């Protein structure tokens, strides 16, 4: 049952409040002095304190009550305190409310108002206890994750990220393909690293390939290797990523960029473990776990005929969705602190600005923003002005494509980070690359 502590040197006051609260199933504890009240607070659970403002017969200043409140506040910052005051002490009571007291009531008090106030404060106390319990549970789960698994020094505080990491750790031991989905820059590769680090193949190689960074004619050579003369410029035989990853893990980022021919070959490797280098008829055998990632809508690509449905289901034995940074609010400030240059700190307005920015470029944009702010800040403290966060431009209408000047300006603001510039322009990364190639804008 909820408990109210009454600290008042008038026994009649304590008795009246005890009768009043007993009608509402509220337990009342009473103390006739500040020292006795503080002793009860130190040894018993209390939900709300109701205290007098004056404990000396020779004064009406209320200083004793003010000192009692300050002591309670120092020892239990979240304890709701209601002040009972005489009219001569109203000014002092108002000052204490500004300092954190829950409310004040003049003697003689209104029973209904007092009951309403106490009821609201009891609900608030119950909510705080529940939040504290949930926070403790989260801390226990996080500690357990960190104790049992190699999390690759990932920085996180948000419950949504914790769920993603827990799922990655859970599926790590299963030797099945994993598809990681989510926007560019959200941390998909970090999740792949966690899966590898906790898998049976953790001692094997971890090989990465960005399928969106190469033209299709070179992508297959990167994946499967090539013999001399297999394509223009192939002056020597080369080992592909599958051979390099034998006994370990191959992480294929932006898997949606793989050509249909490459998709067919990848499907065969996943089904048989066998492949041929470009320009060779000799089969090679490997044991590789494939983790793929995409920011594309693969289902839409399947409907459009640009992605094989059988490959999708082969890759998607387990799917892990990494939410955008805007959905992981509690991660933003810890990540920002991690990216800060040594000796730098965030001001309160900078932390507020970081939490309210939409972050279309996700963690990559955040890292770039902190790097830029570290250079602009004249002192050790980074302010919101140093961050210079800009609202992303609205997406261009479907029949309008950004011109050269618009693209170059967006690239400059993004510090050359393609994903961030694409998000600002309302384009996919691939669409921005195509537009840059059309306008002869260098990719570097």
Residue that finishes a domain, picked among 301, 321, 341: 321
CATH number at residue 361: 1.10.8.60
pLDDT of residue 398: 47
Task: Give kind and range of the element (H or E) at residue 104.
Answer: strand 103-106
Q: pLDDT per position in the chain (444 positions), as tens?
A: 899 999 998 899 999 999 999 988 999 999 999 999 999 999 999 999 999 988 865 555 568 888 999 999 999 888 999 998 876 567 777 888 888 898 888 888 889 999 999 999 998 888 888 878 887 888 888 888 889 999 999 999 999 999 999 999 999 998 899 999 999 999 999 999 999 999 999 999 999 999 887 777 688 888 888 888 877 777 788 889 999 999 999 999 999 888 888 899 899 998 999 988 888 889 899 999 999 999 988 998 999 899 999 999 999 999 999 999 999 999 999 999 999 989 999 999 999 999 999 999 999 999 999 999 999 898 999 999 999 887 655 555 544 568 887 888 788 777 777 877 887 787 877 788 888 888 888 876
Residue 178 domain flag = yes
Residue that finishes a domain, picked among 82, 106, 128: 128
Report CA-CA distances (Å) from 298 to 256, 269, 289, 310. Answer: 7, 20, 21, 12
Report strand pairing: 283-285 vs 274-276: antiparallel
pLDDT of residue 148: 93
Residues 378 and 397 both lie in one domain = no
Q: What pTM was computed for the model?
A: 0.66
Residue 144 domain flag = no
Residue that finishes a domain, picked among 84, 111, 128: 128
User: 8 lies in which domain range?
Assistant: 3-128
Task: Return the residue matching tokens 């009550």.
Answer: 65
Residue 428 domain flag = yes
**Structural tokens at position 196:** 């590898």
Residues 404 and 360 both lie in one domain = no
pLDDT of residue 56: 66
pLDDT of residue 63: 81
Residue 151 domain flag = no
Instruction: Report DSSP letters for 392-418, one per residue.
Output: PPPPPPTT----HHHHHHHHHHTTT-H
For helices 418-425 and 362-376, angle between their N-to-C axes, nearest 10 degrees: 110
Residue 146 domain flag = no
What's the distance, CA 271 to chain centroid?
36
pLDDT of residue 399: 42
Residues 313 and 355 both lie in one domain = no
Residues 312 and 173 both lie in one domain = yes
Residues 225 and 209 both lie in one domain = yes
| pLDDT (tens digit per residue) in 385-405 | 999 887 655 555 544 568 887
pLDDT of residue 434: 80
pLDDT of residue 7: 94
Residue 145 domain flag = no
pLDDT of residue 429: 74
Structurally, the chain folds into a number of domains equal to 4
């Amino acid at each position: 049952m909820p408990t109210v502590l009454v600290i008042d040197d008038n026994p009649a006051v304590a008795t009246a409040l005890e009768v009043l609260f007993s009608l509402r199933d509220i337990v009342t504890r009473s103390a006739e002095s500040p020292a006795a009240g503080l002793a009860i607070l130190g040894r018993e659970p209390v939900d709300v304190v109701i205290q007098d403002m004056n404990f000396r017969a020779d004064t009406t200043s209320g200083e004793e009550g003010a000192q009692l409140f300050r002591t309670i506040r120092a020892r239990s910052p979240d304890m709701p305190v209601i002040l009972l005051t005489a009219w001569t002490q109203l000014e002092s009571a108002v000052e204490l409310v500004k300092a954190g007291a829950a409310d004040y009531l003049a003697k003689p008090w209104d029973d209904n108002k007092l009951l309403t106030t106490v009821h609201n404060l009891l609900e608030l106390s119950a909510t705080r206890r529940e939040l504290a319990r949930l926070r403790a549970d989260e801390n226990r789960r996080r500690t357990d994750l960190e104790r049992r698994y190699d999390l690759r020094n990932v920085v996180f505080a948000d419950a949504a990220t914790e769920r993603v990491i827990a799922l990655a750790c859970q599926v790590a031991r299963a030797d099945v393909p994993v598809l990681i989905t989510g926007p560019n820059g959200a941390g998909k590769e970090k999740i792949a690293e966690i899966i590898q680090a906790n898998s049976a193949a953790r001692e094997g190689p971890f090989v990465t390939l960005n399928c969106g960074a190469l033209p299709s004619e070179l992508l297959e050579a990167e994946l499967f290797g090539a013999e001399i003369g297999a394509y223009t410029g192939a002056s020597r035989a080369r080992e592909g990523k599958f051979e390099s990853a034998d006994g370990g893990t191959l992480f294929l980022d932006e898997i949606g960029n793989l050509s249909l021919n490459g998709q067919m070959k990848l499907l065969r490797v996943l089904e048989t473990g066998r492949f041929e280098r470009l320009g060779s008829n000799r089969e090679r055998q490997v044991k590789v776990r494939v983790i793929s990632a995409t920011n594309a809508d693969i289902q839409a690509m399947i409907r459009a005929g640009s992605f094989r449905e059988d490959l999708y289901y082969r890759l998607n034995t387990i799917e892990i969705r990494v939410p955008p940074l805007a959905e992981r609010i509690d991660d933003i400030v810890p990540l920002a602190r991690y990216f800060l240059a040594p000796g730098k700190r965030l001001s309160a307005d900078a932390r507020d600005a970081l939490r309210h920015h939409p972050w279309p470029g996700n963690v990559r944009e955040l890292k770039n923003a902190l790097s830029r702010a570290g250079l602009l800040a004249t002192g050790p403290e980074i302010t919101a002005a140093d961050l210079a966060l800009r609202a992303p431009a609205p997406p261009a209408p479907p029949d309008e494509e950004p011109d050269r000047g618009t693209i170059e300006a967006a690239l400059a603001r993004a510090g050359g980070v393609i994903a961030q510039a694409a998000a600002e322009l309302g384009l996919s990364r691939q669409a921005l690359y195509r537009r840059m190639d059309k306008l002869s804008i260098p990719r570097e």
